[in-house]
Amino acid sequence: MDTKVFDMKDIDIAWCPGCGNFPILKTLKRALAELHIKPADLVLVSGIGQAAKIPHYFRANFFNGLHGRALPAATAIKAANPALTVIAESGDGDMYGEGGNHFIHTIRRNPNITNIVHNNMVYGLTKGQASPTSQQGFVTPVQVGGVFLEPFNPIAVAIALDASFVARAFSGDIEHTTGILKKAVEHKGYALVDIFQPCVSFNKLNTVQWFEEYTYKLEDHDPTNRLKAFEKATEAERLPLGVFYTSPPKSTFEKNIGTDGENQASLYERTPDMKKLHDLIKTFGFLP
Ligand SMILES: Cc1ncc(C[n+]2csc(CCOP(=O)(O)OP(=O)(O)O)c2C)c(N)n1
Ligand code: SF4
Ligand SMILES: [Mg+2]
């Protein structure tokens, strides 16, 4: 399938020239086109930030909600219509900071969605404050003496929570990132893809050269070995890229909430029993 099906006509893209969001946009289109996923069957869900603008530049269904709240919306969309391919996509601040609680509990719920995080280690949209993944020593207009907290490690946290699929990529490597995104979208269950991305305007520490120097690709790594995956996730000298971990198969949120009962229809296809609903609300004492 041609990636052009995902192109929006006549739009202004409000990213700085050289921003790592451009190759991520291109890579995602390529991965989905290679998987033959049609725009009508796709939903992109995001929060707020530079990364969260991705759905504005992508021809597909989308929901752009509150800061940090992409994951619960994506979980609900998938539960209502499991036939859709649902991708929750935002920045490191949005997903790991404001949305940190949702990050933890979405992993536990295991909806069959892909969670892409554009990790530029900074709050880009609000002009350069530290994010949860900012490196120690990173100087910003707010953290004037440099960040003193240890960075949040999303890969290690996801593996600790037995996330169904955990991977990391680099926006500058389109070939490698396309392969990882395809695996993540095809995976049955929650799939995290953290993508390192340079922010050329507000992160002068983690540049393209920095990512090239301090990352390497996982080789001969068995992603079903959880302890080894955790060991790889906590390496600090050079940061591995690739699929760290895949859990043993487990049931998804949308399966667990009971569409397997008497009524097999997806939630969006069902007609609510208004009388039953009315009677239920009445038991709360709100209605006359
Ligand atoms: C509740 C709330 N708090 C704060 C903000 C301000 N705000 C907008 S984007 C953003 C940071 C986004 O950073 P990140 O998710 O890393 O995305 P990036 O811009 O770096 O891609 C913040 C703090 C907001 N819009 N809503
Ligand atoms: S501020 Fe940073 S993240 Fe935002 S568009 Fe510019 S380079 Fe990209
Ligand atoms: Mg960011």
pLDDT at 264 over 80: no
Reported as a single tens digit per residue, the pLDDT across 181-195 is 999 999 999 999 999
Which residue's alpha carbon is at the smallest distance from atom 8 of ligand 2?
A: 19
* Cβ(29) – ligand 1 distance below 6 Å: no
Reported as a single tens digit per residue, the pLDDT across 150-184 is 999 999 999 999 999 999 999 999 999 999 999 99
Reported as a single tens digit per residue, the pLDDT across 6-54 is 999 989 999 999 999 999 999 999 999 999 999 999 999 999 999 999 9
What is the arithmetic mean of pLDDT over 84-93? 98
| C-alpha 264 to ligand 3 mean position (Å) | 40
What is the arithmetic mean of pLDDT over 132-151? 97
CB half-sphere exposure, 61, CA atoms < 13 A: 14
| C-alpha 200 to ligand 3 mean position (Å) | 12
Among 51-65, 227-241, 258-272, the least confident range? 258-272
* Cβ(91) – ligand 1 distance below 6 Å: yes
Which atom of ligand 2 is nearest the CA belonging to 127?
Answer: 1
Give residue 212's identity as a one-letter amino acid code. Answer: E
What is the arithmetic mean of pLDDT over 75-90? 96
Task: Give the pLDDT confidence score for residue 146 in this predicted structure.
Answer: 97
Which atom of ligand 1 is nearest the CA belonging to 199?
Answer: 20
* Cβ(67) – ligand 1 distance below 6 Å: yes
pLDDT at 5 over 70: yes
* Cβ(49) – ligand 1 distance below 6 Å: yes
Task: Give the pLDDT confidence score for residue 163 in this predicted structure.
Answer: 98
* Cβ(43) – ligand 1 distance below 6 Å: no
Query: Do you know the residue count of the chain?
Result: 288
Domains of the chain: 3-262 (3.40.50.970)
pLDDT at 260 over 60: no
Mean model confidence pLDDT for the chain: 95
What is the arithmetic mean of pLDDT over 253-259? 82
pLDDT at 259 over 70: no
| C-alpha 247 to ligand 1 mean position (Å) | 31
What is the arithmetic mean of pLDDT over 51-68? 97
| C-alpha 118 to ligand 3 mean position (Å) | 7
Reported as a single tens digit per residue, the pLDDT across 234-246 is 999 999 999 999 9
| C-alpha 99 to ligand 2 mean position (Å) | 20
Q: Report the percentage of the chain scoring pLDDT > 90.
A: 89
Task: Give the pLDDT confidence score for residue 202 in this predicted structure.
Answer: 98
